[in-house]
Amino acid sequence: MKDDVGFTGNQFTLVNSCFTAGYIVGQWPSAIILASGRISPRFWFPFCVAAWGFCTLGTGCEFCRCLMGIQCSGEMFLTPAVVTNPHQVMAIRFVQAIFEASTFSGSHVSETTTRVIVGLHAHERLT
Q: State the pLDDT at residue 97.
A: 92
What are the backbone angles phi and psi of residue 77, rounded to the nearest 5°? Answer: -125, 25
For the ranges 4-18, 25-39, 63-77, 113-127, the lowest mean pLDDT is seen at 63-77
The answer, yes or no, to whether residue 113 has pLDDT greater than 70, is no
pLDDT, one tens digit per residue, over 34-77 is 888 888 888 988 899 888 888 887 776 555 555 555 555 555 44
Torsion angles phi and psi, residue 59, rounded to 5: -105, 15
Q: How far apart are the first and last CA of the chain?
A: 62
Q: Is the pLDDT assigned to residue 17 strictly greater than 70?
A: yes
**pTM of the predicted structure, to 2 decimals:** 0.67
The answer, yes or no, to whether residue 20 has pLDDT greater than 90, is yes
Tens-digit pLDDT profile for residues 83-111 = 778 888 888 889 999 998 888 765 655 55
**Domain residue ranges in the chain:** 2-126
Residue 4 CB neighbour total at 10 angstroms: 13
Q: How confident is the model at residue 78 (pLDDT cuts 50, 70, 90)?
A: very low
